[in-house]
Chain A
Amino acid sequence: KAGVTQTPRYLIKTRGQQVTLSCSPISGHRSVSWYQQTPGQGLQFLFEYFSETQRNKGNFPGRFSGRQFSNSRSEMNVSTLELGDSALYLCASSPYRGSYNEQFFGPGTRLTVL
């Protein structure tokens, strides 16, 4: 099976712009979660989508949003970019929701905000 894929792998944007990142989960996986990794904060949960609905949300401002399509692919959007949004954005998929459930990560999108 192909793993989780994320596009693009690298992005450079300027403050105030918006950006959309894409994630294709492992075939058959229905849950997609997004994480932000920064040197100071480590990996932090952004949100989770399952069956095209946001099921859980981390402690991030409303500038961070996402959606999931009927084929389980997901996008996340960051509007009005700030310098502090520079990070590695990771997408993870799992076959279902609930306990005892490994998440499988993609390679990430490295976003640099200038």
Chain B
Amino acid sequence: DQQVKQNSPSLSVQEGRISILNCDYTNSMFDYFLWYKKYPAEGPTFLISISSIKDKNEDGRFTVFLNKSAKHLSLHIVPSQPGDSAVYFCAASATGANNLFFGTGTRLTVIP
């Protein structure tokens, strides 16, 4: 049972525009959410996170929004750059547990 879902396997965006990646979860016990970026032949790289007590967290060009009532989060990248082209994974964890539940990833392509 996939508790974290990324329904868009791929997304293409023009350089300089906004990229919006979406993620949904089903487990109401999740209280910490993370986004990772992955290049081929490399491990996932941590990007940004948000705890359930917040609804927004920003770090440079990356902003994560959390809508707890909808069990939905999104990652906004502004402006998008060609180097952002990678697979993005959404992940979630629950208090007291150190394991992450991952979505299946969204492949972002930023077109120069």
Q: CB within 8 Å of B: which residues of A?
A: 4, 31, 33, 35, 42-45, 48, 50, 55-56, 58, 90, 92, 94, 97-108
Contact = CB atoms under 8 A, between A and B. Distances in A.
Nearest to B45: A105
Given A43-B102, A100-B51, 15 more contacts: A33-B100, A43-B44, A43-B91, A45-B100, A58-B99, A92-B100, A94-B98, A98-B96, A99-B31, A99-B96, A101-B32, A104-B46, A105-B43, A105-B45, A107-B42
Contacts of A101: 32, 93, 98
Contact of B99 (A33, A42, A105): A33
**Interface of chain A, helix or strand or loop or mixed?**
strand
Contact of B43 (A31, A44, A90): A90
B98 A48 contact: yes
Contact of B98 (A31, A35, A44): A31
Interface residues of B, number: 27
Interface in B57-112: 89, 91, 93-105
A11 B31 CA distance: 37
B99 A45 contact: yes
A90 B41 contact: no
B35 to A, nearest CB: 11
A92 B101 CA distance: 13
A99 B32 contact: yes
